[in-house]
Amino acid sequence: MYPSLFPYIFRAPFSGDVTQEITPRFLSPDIKGSPEIEARILREVASYGKQLGKVLEALQALSEKTKVPLPEIDALVAGVERVKAEMKVTLRDEAEAALTRLKAVDEAAWEEVVGRKG
């Protein structure tokens, strides 16, 4: 019996890799601003996640300083930290699996990779 080629020939909507460019003009032409400036900021300064992270840090510092609780912000930050921690484990597992595969097919390349210093 031959493996099915169906999954390689037909791709249902949302079944593959999905990438999306987020630009200010995507949803409405009435949005003020410049997509070129946004794109350059994302490339040269910081991602939206990094920018939002700084805002969340500032809100938490302000909350602590003023003793005004912000439970929704705290929950958001905790959720982000949880996902980051989970992804670190996932990435490490994937890296270990890749190194195991590399060692099995090309031990010299594996030794070169694992022998590198940080």
CB within 8 Å of 64: residues ≥ 6 apart: none
Residue 103 buriedness (CB in 10 A; 0-12 / 13-18 / 19+): middle
Lowest mean pLDDT across 28-37, 72-81, 86-95: 28-37
- How many Å separate Cα 68 from the centre of its chain? 31
Query: What is residue 21's predicted lDDT score, i.e. its pLDDT?
Result: 60
Query: What is residue 91's predicted lDDT score, i.e. its pLDDT?
Result: 96
Residue range 59-82: mean pLDDT, rounded: 97
Tell me: pLDDT of 50 over 70: yes
Tell me: pLDDT of 54 over 80: yes
Tell me: pLDDT of 23 over 80: no
Report the amino acid identity of residue 28.
S
